[in-house]
């Protein structure tokens, strides 16, 4: 089985704005970006399933692959709670520093921690890849894909931001008798 993890195209949001589960549209470059993505997704049959975060930036891309899409709330990006759509520079510095010191287990006010995101995402992923015999396309967000890759590669969540997942990025996985493996598209940066 082949599994494609695809990050949405460039969102239509100003730089410096905190967003996670906010339902933000995509930039005007969507058509060009989606064409590049489609050339990387080489499924050899028509027998595949598409899963997506229900947020519009993922939904639009998922619709490029199929009209039959399973939208799963567990594939949504991290919930930044009270910080959603706020400029990072306007967030209380003490709150931000507390969160940055331990973003894995600390949640923003009324939001969720990275470990909470990882648990919900990987629960969904395990269900999606349960053997149906069909290839899978999963359209999601950077944090979601990082959490899946971290589990597969057994990377600590605190180190998973060394996994680079730019907009429109595709990570190809293969599931065989030995488990799930990353075939291509993994970009690891040097640890600091």
Average confidence (pLDDT) over 135-160: 95
Helices 114-128, 142-153: axis angle to 10 degrees equals 70
Q: Which of 101, 86, 153, 99 is nearest to 122 (CA)?
A: 153
Q: What percent of the chain has pLDDT over 70?
A: 96
User: Looking at residue 47, what is its pLDDT?
Assistant: 79
Q: What are phi and psi of 114, to 5 degrees?
A: -65, -35
Q: For 79-95, what is each residue's pLDDT tens digit?
A: 999 999 999 999 999 99
CATH code, residues 2-135+153-188: 3.40.50.1240
Residues near 44 by beta carbon (within 8 Å), at least 6 away in sequence: none
Ordered by start, the domain boundaries in the chain are 2-135+153-188
d(CA 163, CA 86): 25
């Amino acid at each position: 089985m082949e599994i494609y993890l695809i990050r949405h195209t460039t969102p239509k949001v100003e730089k410096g704005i905190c967003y996670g589960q906010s339902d933000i549209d995509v930039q005007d470059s969507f058509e060009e970006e989606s064409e590049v993505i489609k050339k990387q997704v080489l499924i050899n049959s028509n027998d595949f399933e598409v899963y997506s975060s229900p947020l519009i930036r993922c939904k639009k891309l998922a619709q490029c692959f199929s009209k039959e899409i399973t939208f799963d709330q567990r594939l949504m990006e991290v919930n930044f709670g009270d910080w959603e759509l706020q400029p990072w520079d306007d967030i209380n510095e003490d709150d931000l520093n507390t969160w940055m010191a331990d973003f894995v287990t600390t949640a923003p006010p009324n939001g969720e921690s990275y470990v909470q995101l990882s648990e919900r995402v990987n629960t969904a992923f395990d269900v999606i890849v349960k053997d149906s015999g069909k290839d899978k396309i999963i359209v999601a967000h950077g944090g979601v894909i990082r959490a899946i890759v971290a589990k597969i590669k057994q990377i600590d969540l605190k180190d998973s931001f060394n996994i680079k997942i730019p907009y429109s990025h595709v990570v190809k996985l293969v599931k065989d008798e030995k488990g799930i493996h990353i075939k291509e598209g993994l970009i690891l940066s040097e640890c600091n």
